[in-house]
Amino acid sequence: MLDAIKTYEDVDSWKTIMFLYNAALKEVGTKLEILNDEFQHVHRYNPIEHIKTRIKTPESIVKKLKRYGYETSVENMVKHINDIAGVRLICSFTSDIYRLAEMIGNQSDLEVISIKDYIKQPKESGYKSFHMIVAVPVFLSDSVVQTKVEIQIRTIAMDFWASLEHKIYYKLEDHVPEYISEDLRECADMVAALDEKMLLINEAIQKCLDSVEEE
pLDDT digits (tens, 9 = 90+) for 58-116: 888 998 999 899 998 888 898 899 999 999 999 999 999 999 999 999 999 999 999 99
Alpha helix locations (H) across 13-153? 13-43, 58-68, 74-80, 94-105
Which parts of the chain sit beneath pLDDT 70? 1-12, 214-215
Q: Which residues of 59-74 are buried (b: 16+ CB within 10 A; e: fewer)?
A: eebeebbeeeeeeeeb
Percent of the chain at pLDDT > 70 equals 93
pLDDT for residue 43: 78
What's the pLDDT score for residue 157?
A: 96
pLDDT at residue 140 in the model = 86
Q: What is d(CA 92, CA 173) in angstroms, rounded to the nearest whole number?
A: 30
Predicted pLDDT of residue 12: 55
| Residue 139: count of CB within 10 angstroms of its CB | 9
The domain covering 2-214 belongs, at the CATH homologous superfamily level, to Beta Polymerase, domain 2 (3.30.460.10)
Q: What is the pLDDT of residue 15?
A: 84
Instruction: Give the pTM.
Output: 0.88
The predicted structure's pLDDT at residue 1: 60
* Rounded-to-integer distance, Cα 153 and Cα 85, Å: 14
